[in-house]
Amino acid sequence: MHAACSRNRLSELLRSRSQRHWRCQCPYQLSSARGMTRGRSVKDRSKKKRVHALEVATERWKVLSKVLAVVDALKKEEEHVTPLKRLEILRPQLGLVKPHKVAHFVRRSPHLFEVCRDSRGVMWAGLSPQAEALVEEEARLLEEHSPVAAQYVTRMLMLSVDRRLPIDKIAHFRRDMGLPHDFRTRWVHMFPEHFRLVRLEDGEYLELVSWNPAWAVTELEKKASVSTGDANASPPGDLSLPFPMKFPPNFTSHYRFRGKAHHYVKTGNTEQFQKVTYLSPYAEAKGLTPGSPEFDKRAVAVMHEILSFMLEKRLVTDHLTHFRREFVMPQKLMRLLLKHYGIFYVSEGGKRLSVFLTEAYDGTELIEKCPLVRWREKLLQLTGYRGRFKNLGKFDVSSDSDDYLLGRDDDDVLDVESENSDYILDGCSLSDDSEMDLGDADEFCKD
């Protein structure tokens, strides 16, 4: 009798323990709770280390990317005119949710887009004369920029392990590198001395044709040679150049999170990191041990080099994560970017994360602007999303709201027929196959 009671109690105990174990380990519940908790942790840390000037630059890019999406769609149409309803397919790219319409978005930039009604009552949208002139100017600038873009694409092929990259992955950098719209069909065949298009079983690749020793020099080495006067290019090997670091004026070395002190940049670790000798991004890297200081510093050098190729020295982070294997970069790439605050700055606003090369910016402005960047500024001057704010260089960085940055007033809110007009900016997603690398961001929260 006593043995039976003991077995019953043991069975109940095991049953209760298994139920508790199931509650803790249920994949649905575990993934939901873990994702929400870690997501909030990343955002909380982001607020503590936010650089307002670069956040303003991020908001400008959001506005510009949406305008360029509409301009590109109209350029593909005959005579650059299309029924307004046809533009509704851009709703996901513009981040618009119901009841917002693309028509509202287009009407708010009358200097760029013209809207009219035909005799049948159909609404049409087209480019304004000013926009048409800008489109012609862009085509000319892209053609002039082609040799520089070809050099950067070739150097990316030289950075890769197999000296080849999938053409679909390079497409992610098209707008950031200033590649023309027809780069898949025409542009890739314009420089046969640098690269060629090859078709393999898993798709099309751009493959390096010849190695150029003069291009196997990092941007850091070029700046160092200018300062020292040594213009002799040496073969890629070990480097010991420190990375420039820039912090905002109100920067503090630590912050408190959930009662604990966390360091942005630990002085001892930073000095030790800068002294580590690392392999040039253009040298063979197959022998490096993942997780070693040399491996991590080379990864920082690769990211520094790639960001230097970009027009605005900025990239969406998920575009970088596509190249982990090709460029021999760590799996926790987001963690490495956030760790080296001062070399890079990660803007975590909205659905997509952006990484900046901090040394390239002075406040909200790029220090060196190529003609294509200045063209984008002229395009942004014609947008109607800032209302009374006509000067692009003057923003009140104390306000992070989209309404303030875009100059919305009460009439604008009524025009889009929604109290939640802020979402128009926050939902920006310009690539269907590009997703924010939440795994890396979650891993960073473990520390």
Indicate the pLDDT class of residue 105, thresholds 50, 70 and 90: confident
Q: How far is the C-alpha of 436 from the C-alpha of 315, rounded, in Å?
A: 12
pLDDT value at 437 more than 60: no
Number of Cβ within 10 Å of residue 89's Cβ equals 10
| Average confidence (pLDDT) over 204-215 | 94
**What residue segments make up the domains of the chain, in order of their start?**
43-230+237-382
329 has pLDDT over 50: yes
Q: How far apart are alpha carbons 155 and 190 in whole angstroms?
A: 16
* pLDDT at res. 312: 95
Q: Among the ranges 351-355, 373-377, 422-426, 428-432, which has the highest mean pLDDT value?
A: 373-377
Cis peptide before 235 (omega within 30 of 0): no
Give residue 445's pLDDT: 35
Max Cα distance, the chain (Å): 96
pLDDT score recorded for residue 121: 86
Among 123-127, 147-151, 261-265, the least confident range: 261-265
Residue 43, classed as helix, strand or coil, is helix
Confidence of residue 397 (pLDDT cuts 50, 70, 90): very low
Contact indicator for 198, 164 with CB cutoff of 8 Å: yes
Q: Taking 60 as the threshold, does the pLDDT of residue 418 lie above it?
A: no
CA-closest candidate to residue 241, choices 288, 269, 270, 276 = 276
| pLDDT the model gives residue 205 | 95
* Average pLDDT in the chain: 75
Question: What is the percent of the chain with per-residue pLDDT over 90, rounded to a whole number?
Answer: 31
Query: Is the per-residue pLDDT at 374 higher than 90?
Result: yes
CA-closest candidate to residue 135, choices 83, 73, 84: 73
Question: In this predicted structure, which of 6-20, 50-64, 241-255, 410-424 has the lowest mean pLDDT?
Answer: 410-424
CA distance 174 to 412: 33
Query: Cα(376)–Cα(62) distance, rounded to whole angstroms?
Result: 12
Looking at per-residue confidence, does 310 or 397 come out higher? Answer: 310
* pLDDT, position 131: 93
Please give the average per-residue pLDDT across 410-432, as a whole number.
Answer: 31
Residues 96 and 424: their CA atoms lie apart, in Å, by 6
Report the percent of the chain where pLDDT is more than 70.
Answer: 67
Pairwise CA distance, residues 66 & 425, whole Å = 9
Select from 148, 209, 218 the least CA-distant residue to 179.
148
Going from the C-alpha of 249 to that of each of 51, 243, 264, 267, 271, the distances in angstroms are: 9, 19, 14, 17, 21
Q: How confident is the model at residue 145 (pLDDT cuts 50, 70, 90)?
A: very high
Lowest mean pLDDT among 83-92, 136-145, 222-231, 402-411: 402-411
Q: Enter the tokens of residue 151.
A: 């050099």
Q: What average pLDDT does this structure show over 284-288?
A: 79
H or E, element range at 365 = strand 365-366
Best-predicted range by mean pLDDT (174-178, 327-331, 338-342): 174-178
Q: How confident is the model at residue 234 (pLDDT cuts 50, 70, 90)?
A: low
Sequence-distant (6+) residues with CB within 8 A of 447 are 335
pTM above 0.85, yes or no: no
Helix, strand, or coil (residue 306)? helix
Please state which of the ranges 95-99, 215-219, 226-230, 422-426 shows the lowest mean pLDDT: 422-426
